[in-house]
Amino acid sequence: MKASDFLWQINELGIKTIIGVPDSTLKHFCSEIQVHPGEFRHYTPANEGAAVGIAVGEYLASGNPACVYMQNSGMGNAVNPICSIACGDIYGVPIFFVIGWRGEPGKKDEPQHLFQGKITCALLDTLSIPYAVIDENTTKDEMLSVMKEAKRVLSENRQFAVVVKKGTFEAGESFLWDNGYHMIREEALEKIIETIPRDTCVVSTTGKISREIYEKSNALYGDHKNIFMTVGGMGHASMIAYGIAVRKPGQNILCIDGDGAALMHMGALAFIAAHAPKNFYHVIVNNQAHESVGGMPTDCPKLSFVQLARAAGYSGASELMDMDDLGQIARDMESKKPGPILYEVKVSLKSRSDLTRPIETAEENKNSYMRFLNTI
């Protein structure tokens, strides 16, 4: 299916505003919106719940429904504003959801997607949101009747969802942009992993950052026992790291976050600053994009995580733009410079398409990390 045809059908529902957090299943859909700016108002807020919030505002101000897109992992973030604001038992706000279906039962996918994939349709049933599942074989006629049903449901001030299987949308015009930074993320991560003390407890974020760290650590040391990969639960790595930091006060804790992830639950920064664990070091790898799922911008180009951290009350914060700057992280850890300290590491949008994925199960990785924590 052409993403442009689907967008035209969304337009026919009277929708002029599209809001969402990018997803790899919806990559061509997201690109299509980006390469044709002006046809829709398009926003990429910090998380899927915020996207529902904008959709509610759009409806209040215009009487029109909005479209909210997300990966099914983001449904959890959206559940609260759906149940407590939009649903028919409260304000009754029509919203057209487009949900990328990772972890579809019977299809091979990464561990973090399996349970969410299994419950995706059941969750929509529980939320009383009628839905249609579409894939690459969905015909134009089938699509027309899906959209006719969507129109009917939206006209009753209810929500409707289209659940999109992998491979549904054909590749169209690619959305290409550049953030102007030159440091390559995997090289920066390799340098950080190579230079920090070997007994550092690392907690890394969702997406390719964890995959790159996994690969680099295995290549350097033959293991990744000191690294907890937050493969799902985007935006929660820093709180996991905090939980460890307070239980291991004599140990250096390094959280390696992404800008999209840090934005998703940004209250964590204020919390960390307020509780000020001295052993907490926080890298935010900022490429101004959701690179792991297609490179869509995080849409906060002026945001400085350094200024944010200082204002929140981190004890230190610095911007690292070059490979030579990165040694500062290890030096601060070795000298036990009191944290929390934030490092905004600015990198380009480059990544390798042949990046490997963990071969161990998530449980095996959890167990080896816990064994490591027990020995230090």
Q: Judge contact between 362 and 103, C-beta under 8 A.
A: no
Of 86-94, 147-155, 290-298, 363-371: span binding ligand TPP (CB under 6 A): 290-298
Tell me how crowded residue 299 is: count the other CB atoms within 10 A of its CB. 16
Count Cβ neighbours within 10 Å for each residue of 88-110 and write b for 16 or more, e otherwise: eeeeebbbbbbbbbbbbeeeeee
> What does the DSSP assignment read for 183-208?
--HHHHHHHHHHHS-TT-EEEE-TTH
Of 207-215, 220-228, 310-318, 326-334: span binding ligand TPP (CB under 6 A): 207-215
Residue 290 makes contact with ligand TPP by CB under 6 A: yes
Residue 208 makes contact with ligand TPP by CB under 6 A: yes
Residue 277 makes contact with ligand TPP by CB under 6 A: no
Of 11-19, 244-252, 282-290, 353-361: span binding ligand TPP (CB under 6 A): 282-290
Smaller CB separation from ligand TPP, 207 or 339: 207
What the block records as the tokens of 301 is 């180009």
Task: Out of 291, 317, 342, 346, name the contact with ligand TPP by CB under 6 A.
Answer: 291
- Considering only CA atoms, give the Rg of the chain: 21
Residue 293 makes contact with ligand TPP by CB under 6 A: yes
Task: Out of 23, 58, 104, 186, name the contact with ligand TPP by CB under 6 A.
Answer: 23
The Cα–Cα gap between 373 and 181 comes to 36
Residue 217 makes contact with ligand TPP by CB under 6 A: no
CA dihedral sign, ordered 163, 140, 93, 64 = positive
Residue 215 makes contact with ligand TPP by CB under 6 A: no
Q: If DSSP codes are grouped into helix, strand and coil, which group holds residue 339? A: coil
Residue 74 makes contact with ligand TPP by CB under 6 A: yes
Give the interface with ligand TPP as residue ranges (CB under 6 A): 21-23, 71, 73-74, 77, 205-209, 234, 258-261, 285, 287, 289-293, 298
